[in-house]
Amino acid sequence: MDDKPSLAPKPKTKAAVAAAAAPAPARTTPALKKPPLAPPPQMIPLKPPPAHHYRQQRGGGAPRKRHRSGSGCSGRRVCCLATGFLLLALCLAVAAACLAYLCYHPRPPSFHLQPVSTTRFRVGNSSAVSAMDVTAAVKVVSWNPNDKIAFEYGDGEGRVYLADSDGDITLGWAPVEGLEHGARKVAVVRFVATAKGVVVDEAVAARVRDRYRRRRLAFKVVVDTHMGVRVGAVRTGMVPVRLSCDDGVMAPRGVSAGSPMSRCQVYLLRMT
């Protein structure tokens, strides 16, 4: 079959050309209207307070304190002066102590505990409970090695303990009289402690009886007192001191001049 000839396009009219060239009309939106404003509220005029109320409020407050600049400066000046005087006094005290040490060469006294003498020692044989009655005489010998320094001791208290593996047993206490320990001299501190009805268990009682028969009882002695130093006419204040003797032994039968003595320790500023 033969192809059909193509038809020529129809010519456009002027009206169609003008309509195609003209822009599309824009959409129109209705304009927004502002809501009507509410009328302003009516202001009620305030009445001023009475004059006497105003005067009371002004007069009732606390008066203001004026800041004085001079008082702060004077306070700081006084504080600085006091600190300076304190430092100066401390330096003078240290210098005086150094001079005294160089001049006198102070040395502490030594203390030794002599063997403890038991004038009474009895341990009950009851099967239910064992009790001890003990009277112990204590003697501590002190030596002052200084040439110009003396020591003064106030009244104190002495206690005696019986050393044991299960714990020390308190045997009693007694007051200790004060004394003055001169330079290059020997002083003696002595007291007698008595204990009655000290309850111990059967095992401890058996050990104590055996050690007493063999004269092997061990004692501990503690003396609490106050000590001061005197150099010529100058005296220092009294300070607490504790004398502790942990290796005391039992005195042998009879009088023995060559019995060994145990050394004691001195603790300053200690009373508990």
Give residue-wise pLDDT tens across range 188-214.
999 999 999 888 888 889 899 999 999
Give the C-alpha separation, 215 to 229, whole Å: 39
Strand partners, 136: 118, 193
- CA dist 136 to 27, 104, 132, 258, 261, Å? 128, 39, 12, 20, 16
For residue 145, what pLDDT is reported? 94
- Per the CB < 8 A criterion, the answer to whether 233 and 202 are in contact is no
User: What is the DSSP secondary-structure string of 126-149?
Assistant: -SS-EEEEEEEEEEEEEE---SS-
pLDDT in tens, 88-133: 999 988 887 788 777 878 899 999 999 999 989 998 876 667 889 9
- CA dist 81 to 69, 70, 72, 78, 129, Å? 19, 17, 14, 5, 71
Mean pLDDT of 161-181: 92
Entry pTM: 0.64
Going along the chain from its start, the domains and CATH numbers come out as: 110-268 (2.60.40)
For residue 1, what pLDDT is reported? 44
Mean pLDDT of 166-193: 93
Give the C-alpha separation, 205 to 169, whole Å: 11
For residue 217, what pLDDT is reported? 93
Residues 6+ apart with CB under 8 A from 201: 130
For residue 190, what pLDDT is reported? 94
For residue 59, what pLDDT is reported? 52
Asked if the model's pLDDT at residue 267 lies above 90, the reply is yes
Backbone torsion region of residue 233, taken as left when φ is above 0, otherwise alpha when ψ lies between -120 and 50, otherwise beta: alpha
Residues 6+ apart with CB under 8 A from 76: none
For residue 241, what pLDDT is reported? 95
Q: How big is the CA angle at 215 (ends 212 and 217), to the nearest 5 degrees?
A: 65
Higher pLDDT, 16 or 94: 94
Residues 6+ apart with CB under 8 A from 155: 175, 176, 177, 178, 225
Give the chain's mean pLDDT.
80
* 190 burial via Cβ count (<10 Å: 0-12, 13-18, 19+): middle
Q: For residue 191, what are its two tokens?
A: 């007291």
For residue 165, what pLDDT is reported? 87
pLDDT in tens, 220-257: 999 999 999 998 888 988 999 999 999 899 998 765 55
Give the C-alpha separation, 194 to 34, whole Å: 114
For residue 78, what pLDDT is reported? 86
Residues 6+ apart with CB under 8 A from 197: 131, 132, 133
Q: Is 39 in a helix, a strand, or coil?
A: coil
Q: Is 35 in a helix, a strand, or coil?
A: coil
Q: Is 167 in a helix, a strand, or coil?
A: coil
Could you tell me how far CA 21 lies from the centroid of its own chain? 105
For residue 115, what pLDDT is reported? 94
- Nearest CA to 191 out of 163, 223, 226 is that of 223
Asked if the model's pLDDT at residue 62 lies above 80, the reply is no
